[in-house]
Structure 1
Amino acid sequence: MATSVTLQDITVDNFESFMDMELPEHQRDYLDSNAYSIAQSRFYDDFVTRGIYCDGEPAGFLLYDVRAEDVDGLYGIYRFMVDFPQQGKGIGRKAMALLLDELHSKPDVHRIIIYYKPGNAVAQAFYRSFGFRECGIDDNGEMIAEIIPSRLPDQQV
């Protein structure tokens, strides 16, 4: 199990470690690549990237939007992944708890949404365990699930 999980900025010094992470064939249809996400973050000012580190080593990646759908206080998690060799070690659970703490601490947050493919039962169960509730399908065919920060459950990490 993971002992120390942290979220760190993606910088010129570490971005290549995250760009090279790939999901296995059976998971690739669920998520855009980290390289694509890092490129997006350079052109969309509201996008924030974080590297997920476990015991000081790169272990995953996430991207969120501080103004999803151009709405103040609506935070959208667009990418969340743990590198395949690191999956199943509790890293994702600790990283999601850290991310939700980070977003919950924002003074303007009133709603957090996350997107995933409707057929991704593992993601659905994982996000539900944090209190996300499905609220519809977007124009791209992705499931939207939401959580209201005042209703964030306490997570055991």
Structure 2
Amino acid sequence: MNLHICEVTPSNWRAVAALEVSPNQQQFIESNAYSLAESMYEENGTSVGLYDGDTLVGYAMYGWYSEIGKSVWLDRFMIDHSFQGKGYAKRFLVLLIEHLQQIYQCEKIYLSLHPDNNLAMKIYESFGFRLTGENDDNGPVVGVVMELLINKEI
């Protein structure tokens, strides 16, 4: 595997927009087309494609850094349905956490997810994310907020 993260550009945005989760997961996350538009028109959002070599397998959107809280949002993260079940989610989550730490030198990473998305919640919990007790209702999908505290001694 040659996993890497590439910004969405005029040459790959259509392929990123075409990625989809499985039909039984669609209520859990906004479409990539919606997310791409959000990252284009809301300040501070960055959209990236998740690649294995030349193959696009997923999408993520991050940003909204807070200097006061030394925090950043991993606002979207998905693996296309045809690549699910192959370990990509965990491997890319490692890369994304490292990527966000390098860019922002953050102490906290926030994300939100649909409260019924049990599989995603288990994956995030295995990385140390914990529920904050807050809700995120800034988009069409209302989610529960999770937080990862970054151990600076690692």
**Distance in 2 (alpha carbons) for counterparts of 1:85 and 1:54:** 13
**Which sections of structure 2, spanning at least 5 residues, go unmatched?**
none
Question: Residue type matched to 2:86 in 1?
Answer: K
SS of residue matched to 1:32: coil
Q: Deviations over 1:68-122 (max 9, x none)?
A: 6x85622011110000000011111111101100112235412111110111110
Q: Does 1:87 find its partner at 2:87?
A: no
**Distance in 2 (alpha carbons) for counterparts of 1:93 and 1:19:** 22
Query: What's 1:27 paired with?
Result: 25
Q: Does 1:113 find its partner at 2:110?
A: yes
SS of residue matched to 2:111: strand
**Which sections of structure 1, spanning at least 5 residues, go unmatched?**
none
Query: What's 1:46 paired with?
Result: 44
Name segments (4+ residues, structure 1) moved above 3 Å.
none
Which moves more between the two structures, 140-149 or 115-124? Answer: 140-149
Q: Is the 2:7–2:48 contact (alpha carbons within 8 Å) kept by the matching residues of 1?
A: yes
SS of residue matched to 2:85: coil
Following superposition of structure 1 onto structure 2, how do residues 2-151 of structure 1 map, counting pairs within 5 Å? 3-67=1-65, 73-140=70-137, 141-150=142-151
> What is the deviation of 1:63?
0.4
Q: Is the 2:72–2:109 contact (alpha carbons within 8 Å) kept by the matching residues of 1?
A: yes
**Distance in 1 (alpha carbons) for counterparts of 2:152 and 2:124:** 14
TM-score (norm 1): 0.87
SS of residue matched to 2:48: strand
TM-score (norm 2): 0.89
Identity of aligned pairs, percent? Answer: 26
> What is the deviation of 1:67?
2.0
**Distance in 1 (alpha carbons) for counterparts of 2:16 and 2:104:** 29
**Distance in 2 (alpha carbons) for counterparts of 1:54 and 1:99:** 14
Q: Is the 2:73–2:109 contact (alpha carbons within 8 Å) kept by the matching residues of 1?
A: yes
CA RMSD after TM alignment:
2.0
